[in-house]
Structure 1
């Protein structure tokens, strides 16, 4: 699955997210967030060769239910799921290597 480039204004429900099969990365942030913009090249590099990973880029903010369900505090936050269950998370990732290593650990 290709990397999602735009933030989703309508997030999937928590029930739907818990029903995802395989590897999923939920990326919480906003298009105007400087930290989110800085993290994009590393996220793109880490996901470039991982076609088996579902990537959902979810716009977060006050009152956004999915972000609150995952207790998101800082952007970007990457939540790594395996079969709908959270296995790891990275807050403000700084390198493609850290993201790739986390993906490898979750996939194992």
Structure 2
């Protein structure tokens, strides 16, 4: 009986290792898998690291900033595969563990992170020099005009910002009189500081150059419409 229990324990341990291996992939396999439709690519490095280059179609949330991470991760789909990475694998392993414990059904880690990706000879998206920031004077010129203006402080890599894209498009389709001004939440830090917009996304509504209201986070078209009255 003792021998049988020992064999069973070894088999279970082997199955556990096998299951764990399937949760982590080398760079070549990871690159092939993230090219499939329906997957979510998730970068848990800092915003500064992200700006040095990222994997195609990646969304970003800094795992070391717990409030930001837990807010943005809410906008990922738990029932769709998430392919997660950081610089070398430490943060993504911790983040993946948290996500699995909180209902995500398939979380796959990039073994060795961005370092392994580069060592495999693969390129990064967005690996360019810092883009010039929008000047505060340029922003003020755009919003201090006659009529309605909607400022969208967001970024393509921000999960809640991505969720708001169709909402904004529907709003603009219905309200042709509203001018949209976009502020890059990963680059235009001087404008963000001047208008006190520290979180993504932030929406600010102006009429005839005067601020009428603002909203931070995900909202509905109807709520934004109500602010445009």
Q: What TM-score, normalized to structure 2?
A: 0.38
1:102 aligned residue: 227
Structure 1 runs of 4+ off > 6 angstroms? none
Q: CA separation in 1, counterparts of 2:182 and 2:144?
A: 17
How many residues are aligned here? Answer: 96
1:59 aligned residue: 184
Higher relative contact order (CA 8 A, sep 6+): 1
1:50 aligned residue: 175
Higher helix share: 2
Runs of at least 5 residues in structure 1 that lack an aligned partner in the other structure: 1-8
Aligned counterpart for 2:134 among listed residues 2, 8, 11 = 11
SS in 2 for 1:93: coil
What is the CA RMSD across the aligned residues, in angstroms?
A: 2.0
Q: CA separation in 2, counterparts of 1:103 and 1:61?
A: 27
Shift of the alpha carbon at 1:37?
0.2
Q: What TM-score, normalized to structure 1?
A: 0.76
Q: CA separation in 2, counterparts of 1:10 and 1:52?
A: 27
SS in 2 for 1:48: helix
Q: CA separation in 1, counterparts of 2:145 and 2:164?
A: 25
Cα 1:56–1:101 shift into 2, 3 Å = same
When Rg is computed on C-alpha atoms for both structures, the one with the higher figure is 2
